[in-house]
Chains A and B, each alone.
Chain A
Amino acid sequence: DAGITQSPRYKITETGRQVTLMCHQTWSHSYMFWYRQDLGHGLRLIYYSAAADITDKGEVPDGYVVSRSKTENFPLTLESATRSQTSVYFCASSARQARKNIQYFGAGTRLSVL
């Protein structure tokens, strides 16, 4: 199906483990984003990417790594998961176009770190 998909939808892991959250979009959007959503904080930007092989930090990048070898994929890796990284993670994408630049969001991944 066309759109933006995230996997897995739910993940439980243990402290110290490496976890990778996947994000795939079929629109060929240039820009992709990772957010985390926590109660009382709204959504906070972790990393974003303007194109393949171009990534940059957002507001809360510590403990996360991203890569973008292909336009359609933007995986997020927690190198050594901590309990504070328990959250709902959303991936988003947007086209490179003037003015509107609406971001379209995936369904989210609910991650629990025990």
Chain B
Amino acid sequence: ELKVEQNPLFLSMQEGKNYTIYCNYSTTSDRLYWYRQDPGKSLESLFVLLSNGAVKQEGRLMASLDTKARLSTLHITAAVHDLSATYFCAVDLFNTGTASKLTFGTGTRLQVTL
């Protein structure tokens, strides 16, 4: 059974600081997703990481994937209040190039304070 663990579960950080969210998973997979969820809202796709060593960046967020270590990281650079949200990683079980059958981590709730 695939297990996906995120840490920390809750992160309070000051504006301007850097931090990293970690996502570990238990079964081989070369496809990993990061989603963002604002309170009471739906999930929004941030990144898709498709191979070992993949790195994607959008604004102050950068995601990477190490399939050998079964680890993905979401790095936040110089946090701003607008980044406050819950971030989920999700791992694809299928690996077949068809539909993704996702197993989600429990989420990391990020709170950026002044």
Q: Do B100 and A101 touch (CB < 8 A)?
A: yes
- Interface extent on A, as a size class? 20 to 34
Interface residues as binary, A26-44 with B (CB distance below 8 Å gives 1, 0 otherwise) = 0000110101000011111
Question: CB-nearest residue of chain B relative to A50?
Answer: B99
Q: Which A residues are closer than 8 A to B by beta carbons?
A: 30-31, 33, 35, 40-45, 48, 50, 58-59, 90, 92, 94, 96, 98-108
Count how many chain B residues have C-beta atoms less than 8 Å from C-beta atoms of the other chain.
Answer: 24
Q: Do A105 and B48 touch (CB < 8 A)?
A: no
Q: Compute how far the CA of A11 lies from the CA of B70 in the bound complex, rounded to whole angstroms.
A: 39
Given contacts A92-B43, A100-B50, 7 further A-B contacts (CB under 8 A): A31-B99, A42-B88, A48-B99, A90-B42, A100-B48, A102-B48, A108-B42
Closest 10 pairs (CB-CB, A-B):
A42-B104, A31-B99, A101-B100, A43-B104, A105-B43, A42-B106, A105-B42, A102-B45, A107-B42, A98-B97
